[in-house]
Amino acid sequence: PLAYDVARLRQDFPILRQQVYGKPLIYLDSAATTQKPNIVLQTLQDYYTGYNSNVHRGVHHLSQIATEAYEESRRIIARYINAAHNHEVIFTKGTTDSINLVANVFGRKIIRKGDTVIISAIEHHSNIVPWQIVCEEREATLRIIPVNERGELEMEAYEAMLDDTVKIVACTYVSNTLGTVNPVQDIIRLAHAKGIPVLLDGAQAIQHRQVDVQALDVDFLAFSGHKLYGPTGIGVLYGKSEWLNKLPPYQGGGDMIKTVTFAKTIYNELPYKFEAGTPDISGAIGLGAAVKYVQGIGVANIGAWETHLLQYALEALSSIDGIRFIGQASHRAGAISFLVKDIHPYDLGELLDKQGIAVRTGHHCTEPIMDFFKIPGTVRASFGLYNTTEEIDHLVTAVKKAATMLG
Ligand code: PMP
């Protein structure tokens, strides 16, 4: 399954060379944030040493270079997700910011008393709470697509909830906790059959698979740069032009206006209407470099390698006495959640840390799904393009050792 040379690619990530407590770092927390390749670090350095300057405003040389680099990054991202127009790519702070943007403007323009918003039972808090806020303000109702014991959405129940009170469906593409890959094509098709738009939370999809917004016909897509080998503080909201033109701006300020008088302000055109204030210029340019890096390897190749790692890990971890996988969907990507006997995930995570292994423990910002499985949290191992099967072997040995100590 190896279409690229992992050992060579690891050289692109200086952070991976270090030791933790005298042990080589084994980074299995890429679902929380990915490490950054040299080309991204270099791009940030080049920006600040060579052409740091504000975008869209200056006539001067540096400002023009910065503006061109910022807009080139938008074009790179638009091509990566196959957006029909560059101006459908809005730079935000991240997935959370992108979802809040849509929830806010939908709340103000579209959602009325008695309306309904649909989300799923396996959402990250950032695709729950913004909709709860909107629903509370508008006296609308939140409906939840239920999940089964395997961690898969109940599609018949979903179909039955799509009545004419529903104004939007907001659903994750891939679960950050269970790794479930949702049948997003069906989710979108069924909603569109009723004229309902769909927002996809792509935070855990965009780094593992080709996400083609036109093929999916999705109305909104949210993702974070830092989970896609880019810097923190930058993210993307993709929206279809028809929607973005129809919706009001999120925040007011510089850049998002055409003219301002005290009597009336004319808003700027897309994408600037949704980019108030000085943006994260270096972050956006850095994200463009990250996307080019991923494209250079091929996201399909990365996804294939990670699927191999996931299957390898499932098999290898199965040899551990008393292990229980949380989420067993037939279609999974990126992450594995597990518990061993009744050992608290935090205790396990701490002992793994002492062996140089970085995993995530806790509820992973998905408390409702923890409640569903009646567990306090999980240990989550998640994969990036740089992980190896040897690292998974170390994980298995370390979990066994920790379980013996704690058991
Ligand atoms: N949705 C999912 C599925 C996620 O995994 C995350 C990050 N853990 C988010 C949303 C939020 O992303 P951010 O914190 O970068 O805004």
pLDDT tens track for 370-395: 999 999 999 999 999 999 999 999 99
The predicted pLDDT at position 365 comes to 96
Percent of the chain with pLDDT strictly greater than 90: 98
Question: Best substitution site from 122, 126, 211, 363 to test ligand 1's pocket, by max atoms within 8 Å of Cβ?
Answer: 126
Cβ-Cβ contacts under 8 Å for 5 (sequence gap 6 or more): none
Angstrom distance (rounded) from CA 162 to CA 173: 19
Known catalytic residues are 365
The predicted-structure confidence for 206-250, as pLDDT tens digits, reads as follows 999 999 999 999 999 999 999 999 999 999 999 999 999 999 999
The predicted pLDDT at position 259 comes to 94
For residue 284, which phi and psi values (nearest 5 degrees)? -65, -45
Task: Please choose, from the candidates 301, 284, 92, 276, the residue with its C-alpha nearest in 3D space to the C-alpha of residue 202.
Answer: 92
Q: How far is the CA of 43 from the centre of ligand 1 (A)?
A: 24
The predicted-structure confidence for 36-55, as pLDDT tens digits, reads as follows 999 999 999 999 999 999 99
Mean pLDDT of 1-21: 91
Mean pLDDT of the residues in the chain: 97
Tell me the three-class secondary structure of 313-336, residue by residue. Answer: HHHHHCCCCCEEECCCCCCECCEE
Q: Is the CB of 355 under 6 A from ligand 1?
A: no
Atom of ligand 1 nearest to the CA of 365: 8
Q: How far is the CA of 226 from the centre of ligand 1 (A)?
A: 10
The predicted-structure confidence for 130-155, as pLDDT tens digits, reads as follows 999 999 999 999 999 999 999 999 99
Asked whether residue 3 carries a pLDDT value surpassing 80, the answer given is no
The predicted pLDDT at position 152 comes to 98
Mean pLDDT of 269-295: 97
The predicted pLDDT at position 59 comes to 87
Asked whether residue 1 carries a pLDDT value surpassing 60, the answer given is no
Q: Is the CB of 96 under 6 A from ligand 1?
A: yes
**Strands, E, within 33-77: which ranges?**
none
The predicted pLDDT at position 2 comes to 63
The predicted pLDDT at position 146 comes to 98
Q: Is residue 79 classed as helix, strand or coil in its secondary structure?
A: helix
Q: Is the CB of 179 under 6 A from ligand 1?
A: no
pLDDT band, very low/low/confident/very high, at 56 (cuts 50, 70, 90): confident
Mean pLDDT of 87-106: 98
The predicted pLDDT at position 36 comes to 98
The predicted-structure confidence for 250-273, as pLDDT tens digits, reads as follows 999 999 999 999 999 999 999 999
pLDDT band, very low/low/confident/very high, at 4 (cuts 50, 70, 90): confident
Q: Is the CB of 201 under 6 A from ligand 1?
A: yes
The predicted pLDDT at position 30 comes to 98
The predicted pLDDT at position 383 comes to 98
Per-residue CA distances from 110 to 107, 114, 150, 246 (Å): 6, 12, 35, 10
Which burial class, exposed, middle or buried, applies to 242 when counting CB atoms under 10 A from its CB (0-12, 13-18, 19+)? exposed
The predicted pLDDT at position 314 comes to 97
Which burial class, exposed, middle or buried, applies to 258 when counting CB atoms under 10 A from its CB (0-12, 13-18, 19+)? exposed
The predicted-structure confidence for 301-350, as pLDDT tens digits, reads as follows 999 999 999 999 999 999 999 999 999 999 999 999 999 999 999 999 99
Asked whether residue 93 carries a pLDDT value surpassing 90, the answer given is yes
Q: Is the CB of 177 under 6 A from ligand 1?
A: no
Give yes or no for a contact between 108 and 251, defined as CB atoms under 8 angstroms apart. Answer: no
